[in-house]
A and B are shown apart, each in its own frame.
Chain A
Amino acid sequence: MSKIMRTDRFPTGELIDRLKPIEFTFDGKKVAAYEGDTLGSALAAQNIKVLSRSFKYHRPRGLMCVSGKCPNCLVEVNGSPNIRACITTVENKMNVKSQNRWPSVKYDVFSVIDKLHWLLPVGFYYKSFYKPRFIWNLVRPIFRKAGGLGRINPKAKSILEKPHKAVFTEIAVVGAGLSGLSAALSAAEQGVEVTLIDQLEHLGGNNKDLLEEELVRKIIAKKSITIITGAPVFGFYPPNLITLDTAEEMIKLHCEKIIIATGSHEVPIIFESNDLPGVMLASGAIKLLKLYGAIPGNDAVIITESNEGYSQALELKNYGLNVVAVLDSRTEIEPQLSKPLEQAEIPVFTDVKSIQAIGTDYISSIKFYYADNWRYLDCDLACSSGRLQPALQLALQAGCSTEFNSNLNTLVPSEPPKQIFLTGGLIGISDKNDSSNHGKTVGLAAATNKPDLKFNIKDNSTNNTKFTNICSKNKRFICFCEDVTSKDLSQAIKEGFTDIQILKRYSTITMGPCQGKMCLTNFIRESSIETGSTQAELGLTTLRPPVEPITLGSLAGPGFIPIKRSPLHSKHLELGAKMVEVGGWIRPYSYIEALTEVSIVRNNVGIIDVSTLGKLDVRGSDAARLLDFIYVNKMSNLKIGKVRYGVMCLENGTILDDGTVARLSDDRFFITTTTTNIEMIESWFKWWLASDTNLDVALVNITSEHAAINIAGPNTRNILQGLTTTDISANKFPYMTVKESFIVDIPAIIMRIGFVGEIGWEIHFPSIYAEHLWDELYNRNVQAFGVEAQRILRLEKGHVIINQDTDSLTNPLEIGLDHIIGSTKSDYVGKNQIHQQYNRGIKRKLVSFTMHEKSPTPQDGSAIIHRGDPIGRVTSARRSPVNQKPFGLAILPYNLSIKGQEVFILINEDLYPAKVSLESIYDPNGTRLRA
């Protein structure tokens, strides 16, 4: 154990265990703590006041809110940046570092920027450092280095993604302060199931008293109330979903009704140098003393504008602090407020005009203007008290409006949508009895579906005065996160940015880590004073999730990414295939080597898993009629046992998809589509089917029902005949026909078709037999080939792949499919546009090309240049194993789609000649294919 001297702690400290000392390091130095301490309380106990440097000016910053809202105590913990020290529990041997400083938080070189503030006014990056132009490139890296908060350490251990859980409840109560507790109990007493949520680990809010403790006991005893603590609610999503981030999981809480009782919290009062370490919120100082026994200072000045400051002054005095004085901006206060302070010998100064905190690295005194004189008070702690801001983010996300509330002197949520209820400090209720009673009323209203229950709220409005400037040189911070002062705000408004949304974006107020929790109220108030508009007229900026910071790991969840596998997946792995992701599927790229596989298919026989093909089973007496409408080519005249290549278009005549249509009987068709489009095509079919409910058609997506194997090569017939009793000779089973038969006793739909330019069959059969049939074929010395070999083979044959060789503008005429357009059909999808295109003539065409064997192989998508202009692109290209030359398909202007036309392909910034060819380089007459 370290021999560090521990500073004295106050005898309070509800959360710490003095029998369990622990330690951590802060910037390399050991810091003593107790179990239960936060990093902030332990540092305060050791009198370490400067914890960080501000974002822009690198001013020293220390604890302020002690509730996880402000940016002043952001530190790096065990490699993770931007952790709030004031709410992070100490663990033994934690490695904590300050951020945004160099070389140390005590002596930061970049603090010189504070002296150069005149160079960096609000919106400076729009106004300066851009002329001459090279200056911005010089200064930008300096600003990037100097600014920012924290650094991501790529070597730091990542936090595991959290599980997500869907939970359902009748009434959710967000906020377990007095009004929230009252609402929860009141609703539960009506027999309703309630979920009570609070971001703190305990119930009762920040200022527990006897009333709240009694309520807490009743709530714990109530079985119909589920309690979730330590769970910040970070978002509201329609219709009534709220999301909670707990230590173990992220909960999606689906609610029938939501009672929002998120209360209000203290925010800083604006005065000069109000960001000095030692200037805190009074509630923060009290929390340090009460919960951790940490002493944030010895001599405290209370700066207030409400009655709250007086009770807080007494509370600090009772803890043993020397309360030097209370400075109140109001002119008059009630005698019963000041009397106890008189008795406690705490001087009270009212009608204080201006205040300045004085000190270099931390506060040493307060200067203030009172009774026409400047006065000074020595202190090491200044507590800003009584300015409240409602925690209204969730309420506004839920769709509430806002209205001005004189109690809080700011906008509060109002007019909640149906099923949403508001109560407590959130809507400006400060009186404890009112909080309790209003909470009860709201709970009852929510439970009994009576939202119109009326309640009168006591008016506790306070004066809204403002401490005026002593000296324009001193900074009065509104936004601590972004270092924005009241002078900056005033300047922005003078420049014409008077709309609150634009003003926010220009000044960046509320855009930092606190996201307005410390500055929204002050922003609206100050803007109201500067512009002359009321707060209600100005309105609020848009508040979006997350309300509380949430890690990407929490949002991402377990990170499962859907991926499809073919029924033959394990076989591919067994054979050592190199697998790739193609169109959402994992498919075999190759087994041995693509060119070798190509050679085997061309000279012997190969098999490929084509189970990924989309497949539809379409049945009914109107099935043919539907197909005629959806396909460009005619399908109703397809004979039973025949297969036809088909193309589908959109209404604008562009190609949607292609595939085969096989007629199995009068009223049954077996359809294949491209791999990636099947869900879309299924929807497409159902869409058109829904347009005529009298059609007798049933269709089902059987993509996964059937596995599919394509067997191809000159020796295919020999192999296949040995596995089936069906006669597969050329006469009995010609090209483009289909049979339902058995292969090794497995029922199958066998189609005599080919994609790779060799004699072949496509076998479709129940997936449950996939491995069995594959084994039977493979064991006959048949080589498996992968998608790369298939691409080479089909390209040699000039077969088109939709969405590879076509784009969203391609019509069937451009890819040479004029012949399949069923001109005798009365109507089909895209007919008008296709016929118009036919009459007008096409402007571009898909053609094949070849290159010199010494040319490099172009990438898919390479530009084609003609006379210096880009005029087309390569859609697919490979090097041919047949003649060793690069070849492929390309889209060219129609006038250049002439056999022998020379064009140039841009490859690696050089141009290489290519010649247009209008036929495939392999088996152009289809002799082998149709054998």
Chain B
Amino acid sequence: MIKQPIKRSALNFNLIENGASMIEQNGWSLASSFGDIEAEVNSSKNSVAITDISNLSKFKIYSPKIDEVLLNTGGNLRISEVRKEHFMKNSMRHSHTTARLSINELWVSSNTNNSFQEIKATYIENDKNVELFEMTSAYTGIRILGPDAPLLLSEFTDINIGLNTFKDLTSAQSMFLQVYGLLIRADLSSLPTYDLFIDRSYGLYVWKAIMSLGARYNAKLVGMECINQLESNP
């Protein structure tokens, strides 16, 4: 009998090695927690927390008329600007994060499973001059959050990560630990929150490097439960 396919991030094995309790949700093998959810929430609020967000659906949208596409779907964005949309569907909280990467390119990440259809419906149905590329597998996502998150980030990027310079709902494409990545700041529960997306093939290398650097700031690995708690208590 053929088993249902299970989706795994590039960090899956390492999460297990680090003591994650894994669960299956929406076809994904996810880290629920690392043993002490309260401590994880505490770290997020007082120092810095690191979590795997590779399960987010990710898309790239290309169009020669990106301005029009944006205007038709919620308002224009300048390059490096980000917008976040939340909505309830089937009693689940959905959120889409859209970042403008260049004059003709958008990035969309989403926490829903069937987001391809949603994104397609939103962007393509209205405009045939739009190409939608599914990139969920292509990128490892690492979330770094907490008051010390900028300090940790300053150790592996030359972007000005100052809270007043790299504001909430801003993105940047740069080199992180010598690897190209996309960094999006989208604060969670008023905590500075940075989502770093890097090519999946470098995922484990970057993850291990961040954990190593994070030791200076008592960074803690956190799971899905911690993030859910923070999201539900804005």
Contacts and interface: CB of A to CB of B under 8 A. Distances in A.
Contacts of B212: 558, 560
B159 interface: yes
Contacts of B159: 166
Interface string A117-152: 000000000000000000000000000000000000
A617 B133 contact: yes
Given A166-B160, A703-B199, 8 more contacts: A168-B160, A560-B209, A562-B178, A569-B13, A698-B62, A704-B201, A705-B135, A707-B137
Nearest to B212: A558
Contact of B13 (A254, A570, A700): A570
B5 A746 contact: yes
Interface in A776-798: 776
A768 B136 contact: yes
Contacts of B4: 745
A110 interface: no
Interface in B177-231: 177-179, 199-205, 209, 212-213, 216
A168 B158 CA distance: 9
A626 to B, nearest CB: 14
A344 interface: no
Contacts of A558: 209, 212-213
B138 interface: yes
Nearest to B13: A570
A166 B135 CA distance: 30
23 contacts: A163-B155, A166-B161, A560-B177, A562-B202, A562-B205, A564-B202, A565-B201, A565-B203, A565-B205, A567-B200, A569-B13, A585-B201, A619-B131, A698-B131, A700-B135, A704-B199, A705-B136, A707-B137, A746-B5, A766-B7, A768-B136, A769-B6, A772-B8
A595 interface: no
Interface in A545-569: 558, 560, 562-567, 569
Interface in B120-159: 131, 133-139, 154-155, 157-159
Interface of A: 163-168, 249, 252, 254, 558, 560, 562-567, 569-570, 585, 612, 617, 619-620, 698, 700, 702-707, 723, 744-746, 766-773, 776
B111 interface: no
Contacts of B8: 768, 770-772
A705 B54 CA distance: 12
List the 5 shortest-distance A-B pairs measured between CB atoms, nearest first: A705-B138, A767-B137, A564-B201, A768-B7, A704-B200
Contact of A563 (B9, B131, B162, B205): B205
Contacts of B139: 704
A769 B12 contact: no
Contacts of A566: 201
Interface of B: 2-10, 12-13, 28, 60, 62, 131, 133-139, 154-155, 157-162, 165, 177-179, 199-205, 209, 212-213, 216
Contacts of A745: 2, 4-5
B3 A772 contact: yes
A704 B137 contact: yes
Contacts of A249: 155
B9 A768 contact: yes
Contacts of A706: 137
Contacts of B200: 567, 704-705, 767
A770 B12 CA distance: 12
A744 B179 CA distance: 34
A502 to B, nearest CB: 38
Contacts of A703: 138, 199, 201
A723 B1 CA distance: 10
A703 B199 CA distance: 9
Given A567-B200, A745-B4, A766 B179 contact: no
A569 B14 CA distance: 11
Contacts of B3: 744, 772, 776
A709 to B, nearest CB: 14
A702 B133 contact: yes
Nearest to B203: A565
Nearest to A744: B2
The CB with the most chain A CB atoms within 10 A, among B131, B165, B203, B205, is that of B131
B173 to A, nearest CB: 14
A776 B1 CA distance: 10
Contacts of A163: 155, 213, 216
A702 B138 contact: yes
B113 to A, nearest CB: 12
Contacts of B157: 166
A93 B2 CA distance: 68
Contacts of B135: 700, 702, 705
B10 A167 contact: no
